Structure 1
Amino acid sequence: MSSSPATVGVIGLGAMGHPMAEHLLAARGALVIHARRPQPQLIAAGASWADSPRELASQVDVLLAMLPDLPQLEELLDGEDGLLAGTGDLLILIGSTSSAPGIRALADRLHTQSDGRVRVVDCPVSGGEDGAQAGTLSIMLGGDEEDAERAAEILTACGRPVHLGPLGAGQVAKACNQLVVSATILALGEATVLAERSGLDLDAMWTLLSGGYAGSRLLDSRREKLVTGDDSPSGMAKYMLKDLRFAADIAEATGTSAVLLPTLRHAFDELVAAGLGDRDIAVTRRFVASRDTETH
Structure 2
Amino acid sequence: MNIAFVGLGIMGGPMAANLVRAGHTVVGYDVSDERLDALVGAGGKAAESVAEAVAQADTAITMLPDSPQVEEVVFGPDGLLEHGRRGLLHIDMSTVRPETARRVAQAAAVKGIRALDAPVSGGERGAVDGTLSVMVGGDPGDFEDARPVLVVLGTTIVHVGPAGAGQTVKAANQLVVGGIYGLVAEAIVLLEASGVDPEAGLDVLAGGLAGSRVLDLKRHSMIRRRFAPGFRIDLHHKDMGIVIAAAREAGVALPLTGVVAQLIAAARAQGYGSLDHSALLKVVERINR
Q: TM-score range by the shorter chain?
A: over 0.9
Bigger shift: 202-211 or 249-258?
249-258
The reply to whether residue 93 of structure 1 matches residue 91 of structure 2 is: yes
Counterparts of 1:28-107 in structure 2 under 5 Å?
28-38=23-33, 39-78=36-75, 81-89=78-86, 90-107=88-105
- Kindly provide the amino acid, as one letter, of the partner of residue 104 in structure 2: L
- Kindly provide the amino acid, as one letter, of the partner of residue 194 in structure 2: S
| d(CA) in 2 for partners of 1:178, 1:222 | 16
String of CA shifts for 1:225-264, please: whole Å, max 9, x gaps.
2211122322112222221222222222322222311211
Structure 1, unpaired ranges of 5+: 1-5
Aligned-pair identity (%): 37
| d(CA) in 2 for partners of 1:133, 1:260 | 32
TM-score by length of 2: 0.92
| d(CA) in 2 for partners of 1:208, 1:287 | 24
Q: 1:165 to 1:277 in 2, by over 3 A?
A: same
Task: Give the ranges of 4+ consecutive aligned residues of structure 1 lying more than 6 Å apart after TM superposition.
Answer: none
TM-score by length of 1: 0.90
- SS of corresponding position for 2:28: strand
String of CA shifts for 1:121-149, please: whole Å, max 9, x gaps.
00000000001111100001100111111
Q: 1:102 to 1:29 in 2, by over 3 A?
A: closer
1:207 to 203, 225, 248: 203
1:139 to 134, 157, 161: 134
Contact 1:56-1:83 within 8 A present in 2 as well: no
| d(CA) in 2 for partners of 1:239, 1:78 | 23
| d(CA) in 1 for partners of 2:272, 2:77 | 40
Counterparts of 1:213-292 in structure 2 under 5 Å?
213-291=209-287
| d(CA) in 2 for partners of 1:82, 1:105 | 15
The reply to whether residue 187 of structure 1 matches residue 187 of structure 2 is: no
- Displacement, 1:75? 2.2
Bigger shift: 70-79 or 158-167?
70-79
Residue-pair matches, total? 285
| d(CA) in 2 for partners of 1:241, 1:149 | 32
Q: 1:40 to 1:240 in 2, by over 3 A?
A: closer
- SS of corresponding position for 1:212: coil
- Displacement, 1:278? 1.9
| d(CA) in 2 for partners of 1:124, 1:101 | 14
- Kindly provide the amino acid, as one letter, of the partner of residue 282 in structure 1: S
- Kindly provide the amino acid, as one letter, of the partner of residue 166 in structure 1: P
Contact 1:183-1:264 within 8 A present in 2 as well: yes
Contact 2:25-2:44 within 8 A present in 1 as well: yes
Bigger shift: 131-140 or 199-208?
199-208
Q: 1:243 to 1:44 in 2, by over 3 A?
A: closer
- SS of corresponding position for 1:28: coil
Bigger Rg over Cα:
1
Contact 1:29-1:46 within 8 A present in 2 as well: no
- Displacement, 1:271? 2.2
Q: 1:79 to 1:181 in 2, by over 3 A?
A: closer
2:152 to 151, 157, 160: 157
- Once superposed, what is the RMSD of the aligned Cα atoms? 1.8
- SS of corresponding position for 2:22: helix
